[in-house]
Structure 1
Amino acid sequence: MGNPNTDWLKEAKYGISHHFLSNYINRVASGPEEQWKDTESWDDVIDGFDAAGYARQVAESGAGFVLLTLGQNSGYHLSPNAAYDRIAGLQPGERCSRRDLPMDIADALEPYGIRLMLYLPVNPPHSAHQREGDYAVTKAFGYTPGMDGAPSQETQEKWQAVIREWSDRYGAKLAGWWFDGLFPHVVKGTYDDPSNRYNYGTLAEAARSGNANRIITFNPGVELTNASYTPYEDYSAGETNAPGHVPSNGRWVDAAERIQYFIFTFLGSFDPYWAGWGNKGVNFDTKELTGWVKEVTDKEGSVCLDTKVNRFGQIDPQQLEQLKAIKATIRG
């Protein structure tokens, strides 16, 4: 009974995530020095991230894992990918950085016993341009410009090749994937149809390539927390805009005891459009937040708290203090 591949996630108790994305950097910058300037390339931004200093701060936070955005809808990514560049007609460094930042972070976290997970949309970026407004990268993948649409078989084949390249490269260094965008209108007749050549099963195969024990989840949307949706997931996606939800059946969210309870929210200040994802500052009372994390982890659930990290690898100071308070309660 149970899923031993998720034992480490339960034992980690809580971790942190980052929306470290090209279109977030300037929006959440605390000052001009943190901004991505017009004179700089994407490589310039990624090269300035201090992985060793970052890992020290993560250890101070008490986090047992990091969930890092590899990329999202703008088409910029934190790591090289030859399949992505070939399909999109790009040169190395144009949208995928030459530096492999996740690899550097995984290596820096390893001495602390902290595991790395990666976030990625289940489909190609829907708003990725070569020149402003042309959607050339999105179109190269045969995907729907400007929206989360239902992917064709060609689109799935291309994007899963990109996922597989990263999965193979990271091997045992990558503990898990958190896949976004498995919304009902996206999966109906596409991923959920096993008669298709590309579906949930082939996506899971690409995600576990290079590490059969790697855990994965598919996110169907906000507040759809306490459920499993496919035969391929290992833990619940758990996205929520507010603390408060706690495990109702202990560690597992399914009767087969296959899906680890996982809940995922943010620390950043709330705004109407972005909620608090990736934002600086704090949104929740520290005492109430700490009490909630303790309640979830006492019931063998796992919590992920989204925090702002700047281009230099520095965690938002207010959020780091909240995390240290959680550490004092949870870790003792």
Structure 2
Amino acid sequence: MRTLTRKARLKMFFGFMLIMSMLLSTLGNFASADANNPKTDFMSGKYGIFQHYRYNYNGLGGGLSNWNSQINSFNVNTWANNVAAEGVSWVMFTVGQGQGYYVSPNSKYDSVLTSWGLPARSPNRDLINELADAMHARGIKFFAYFVGDANGDQHMDPDGRKAMLQSNTLADANGNWVLNQTFRDNTIGIVQEWANRWGTKIDGWFIDGIGEWPDADKTRYINTLKAPNPNTVVTLNAGSFGIQSTKQDYVAGEIFTTIVGAPVPTSRWGTGGMQWHGCYYLGGGWGGGGVDNPDSTIIDYTRSVLTKGGAFTWDQFVGTTGNFDQGQYNQMINMKNALAGITPPSNSTNLALNAIATASANVSGETPAMAVDNSTTTKWTDNTTPGDKWLKLDLGSSKSINRWAVKHASAGTDSADRNTRDFKLQKSSDGNTWTDVDTVTGNTASVTDRNVADFSSRYIRLYITKATQTTESVARIFEIELYGNGSGSGIVSGNTYKIVNRNSGKALGVQGQSTADGAAIQQFTYGGGNYQKWIFTQAAGGYWKIKNVNSGKYMDINGASTADGAANIQWPDTGGDNQLWQLIDAGNGYYKIKNKNSGKLLDISGQSTADGAADIQWPDNGGNNQMWQIIAP
């Protein structure tokens, strides 16, 4: 073998060093690939909410049948309206948390269970898919929360964990949980199915419980979540403000003890150059109800985080049907107002204006109607003997309400000592049986203006238990006002939507992308074209006009027919009732769309699932072919 010269050896050495330098540089770039990541720009200086909706939590559970019933009762529209009212930038919502039942179906998980002799557990409804659509329609980001070792708690679901392990051994001799490669592969297969199905609908993931996973599997997990949507952002919860992987995008920042004295960022970037993020609960624990801290504490802390470019998520109770805790809801509304200034409601129409008003009694010339006449120079007065007093409004039909205001004595021409002190807002479906919506005690202000969780009612009552600041018992109300989306639909006037049939999963569009008068409206697999996009505009009386983006023409029942089976077509605006539609909340994120002229519903003929099937009108029969999602295109 020939001996290398000194010069040749030096050339080889420096060549080797150059290659090693390039390799180390590449590895260094890989390690910090997600540091200072602009994909998290939407989080910086913003805040959101976290909601734990899981099996056997907050009273949910009881096997698959009951779990299905619980999930099917979730009212997406009401939930989404409440989230939007809070002014948050994102929602983190639980897909599953170690209990073996998830809020969306998963065939991979079912196959793991059945291979071990267990029954499948997938619910019928893909709730995450609907929630993400509802949030995006309102301009809010959506995160999925998942305990990353799937079915992680061997005590809550030992049989399910054995299936994930494909082993009967849950713990080693020292009592440590077994976590084998089969378990990790099954978990990644489960989240892969969801990530592929939901795609760009998931703006971020919060993954918990994989601290003991090998780094290679953590990276594989993250890559699996990002493959269908490279823009999604991911965190692996390390507890507190550490990180689990250099491939994650933001810090989980779970706070365990108290928000008082909790860490505050010095800049936007936290550990490893990741977006600084923290999370804590409003109630007495994760997912709990009630209010654990005064408004000033959570508002001041949130402000201190946001002003440094950090991000924060407040954990908030969510109930079986998607209902909120009223105290927590009020606290989030107060935070919105304190941090961003009071914003006008999305619908500034006073729903109480000129409503039919009656009362417990009234002074001559100071009638109930004077409390809904948009004037602070007139008032309703009840000067009867001591006792509770009330003012009842009939809105004519059920209205969706999320804000109410009362103008008391000193808002008009009377003195402040006559301002109403203790009172309630109540609702009723029949005008006789009443339910409290909101309660005010100890008021001294001239004007009460309060947000409430979105609700619908035809009858509203102001119920007064202490009329003044003194012993005088005379009630004086200069004005009561109600605000919200009067149609109760949650649809924003002027926005563009696609209309998807529940039975077929297909979207309404104009046949052949035609712009001609009289072109038929049919269902087709959604392709994103303007002929399948519709602009909803609110008209008088709570009705809607629905205009095709491609043609600029309106949905119209042909010939103003009232006959069963009459076709839905497009036509220029005529102002006719056959071009006006009522949106009726059918629950679970669906609507019935009722023509004003005929009183009949939009219906896919013959319950067809085929492309090109006709859209017609038909009497209400409760079928899925008469139910529609109205969601962002």
- Does residue 319 of structure 2 align to residue 310 of structure 1? yes
Kindly indicate whether residue 318 of structure 2 is the aligned counterpart of residue 295 of structure 1: no
Q: Which has the higher helix share?
A: 1
Residue 230 of structure 2 is aligned to residue 212 of structure 1: yes
TM-score by length of 2: 0.45
- Give the structure 2 partner of residue 29 of structure 1: none
Shift of 1:235: 0.4
Per-residue Cα deviation, 1:25-61 (whole angstroms, up to 9, x for no partner)? 21xxxxxxxx667895211100000011100000111
CA pair 36-231 structure 1, distance change in 2 beyond 3 A: closer
- Partner SS for 2:288: coil
CA distance in 1, matches of 2:176, 2:319: 27
1:109 aligns with 2:135: yes
Structure-2 change in CA distance of 1:150 and 1:121 (3 Å): farther
Q: State the identity as a percent.
A: 29
Are the equivalent residues in 1 in contact too, given 2:56–2:62 (CA < 8 A)? no
Following the alignment from structure 2 to structure 1, what is the Cα–Cα distance between the partners of residues 304 and 189?
A: 40
Query: Are residues 1:74 and 2:99 paired?
Result: yes
- Deviations 1:226-281 (Å, cap 9, x if unpaired)? x33321110001000322434443000146x3x10000100112xxxxxx111110
Structure 2: distance between partners of 1:229 and 1:209: 19
TM-superposed CA distance for 1:109, in Å, is 1.2
Q: How far does the alpha carbon of each residue in 1:186-238 deviate from its partner, in whole angstroms, 9 at most, with x for none?
A: 23xxx23x4xxxx12111111213101111111122xx22x333211100010
Contiguous gaps of at least 5 residues in structure 2:
1-34, 342-633
> What residue in structure 1 maps to residue 339 of structure 2?
330
Letter paired with 1:278: G
Partners of 1:66 and 1:166 lie apart in 2 by 18
1:159 shift after superposition: 0.8
Whole-Å Cα distance in 1 between the matches of residues 152 and 157 of structure 2? 11
TM-superposed CA distance for 1:74, in Å, is: 1.1
Q: Kindly report the root-mean-square deviation, in angstroms, between the aligned alpha carbons of the 2 structures.
A: 2.5
Q: Residue 333 of structure 2 aligns to which amino acid in structure 1?
A: K
User: What is the aligned partner in structure 1 of residue 109 from structure 2?
Assistant: 84
Aligned twin of 2:418: none
1:171 to 171, 176, 199: 199
Residue from 78, 89, 93 that aligns with 1:64: 89
1:8, CA displacement in angstroms? 1.1
Q: Does 1:264 align with 2:298?
A: no
SS at match of 2:244: coil
For 1:18 and 1:278, locate their aligned partners in 2 and report how far apart those are by CA, in whole Å: 6
1:262-307: per-residue Cα shift (whole Å, max 9, x none)? 00100112xxxxxx11111011111111011011011111110101
Match of 1:46 in 2: 71
Tell me how far apart the structure 2 counterparts of residues 213 and 153 of structure 1 sit (CA, whole Å): 28
Secondary structure of residue in 1 paired with 2:177: coil
Matched letter for residue 90 of structure 2 = F
Q: Which residue matches 1:125?
A: 151
Query: In structure 2, do the counterparts of structure 1 residues 38 and 212 end up closer, same or farther at CA, with 3 Å as the change threshold?
Result: closer
Give SS of 1:108's match: helix
Letter paired with 2:243: S
Larger strand share, 1 or 2: 2
C-alpha distance in 2 between matches for 1:313 and 1:45: 10
**Counterpart for residue 138 of structure 1:** 161
| 1:148–1:316 CA distance, 2 compared to 1 (3 A) | farther
Q: Does 1:251 align with 2:244?
A: no
Matched residues in 1 for 2:61 and 2:186: separation? 30
After TM superposition, give the deviation of residue 21 of structure 1 in Å. 1.1
SS of match in other structure, 2:231 = coil
Secondary structure of residue in 2 paired with 1:290: helix
SS at match of 1:8: coil
Is residue 42–residue 93 contact of structure 1 (8 Å, CA) maintained in 2? no
| SS at 1:264 equivalent | strand
Instruction: Report the residue type matching 2:322 in the other structure.
Output: G
Change (3 A) 1:93 1:65: farther
Q: Of 125, 133, 136, which aligns to 1:99? A: 125
1:94 deviation in Å?
Answer: 4.9
Amino acid at match of 2:194: W
Q: Which amino acid aligns with 2:190?
A: V
Q: Does the CA-based 8 Å contact 2:73-2:320 persist in structure 1?
A: yes
Deviation at 1:138, TM superposition (A): 1.0
Matched, 1:9 2:32: no
Amino acid at match of 1:203: Y
Distance 2:191 2:290 in 1: 33
In structure 2, the CA distance between the partners of 1:119 and 1:134, relative to structure 1 (3 Å rule), is closer
Whether 1:277 aligns to 2:276 is no
CA contact (8 A) 2:210 2:218 kept: no
Measured in 2, the distance between the counterparts of 1:120 and 1:177 equals: 8
**CA separation of 1:319/1:67 partners in 2, compared to 1, >3 Å: closer, same or farther?**
same
Match of 2:348 in 1: none
Q: For CA contacts below 8 A with separation 6 or more, give which structure has more relative contact order.
A: 1
Structure 1 residue aligned with 2:602: none
1:128 to 1:44, Cα distance in 2 relative to 1, 3 A:
farther
Other-structure match for 2:480: none
Equivalent residue of 2:44, what SS? Answer: helix
Measured at CA, do residues 219 and 37 of structure 1 come closer, stay the same or move farther in structure 2, by a change above 3 Å? Answer: closer
Partner of 1:161: 189
**Secondary structure, counterpart of 1:89 in structure 2:** helix
CA distance in 1, matches of 2:339, 2:80: 20
- Tell me, yes or no, if the aligned pair for 2:209 and 2:237 is still in contact at 8 Å: yes
| 1:2 positional shift | 2.3
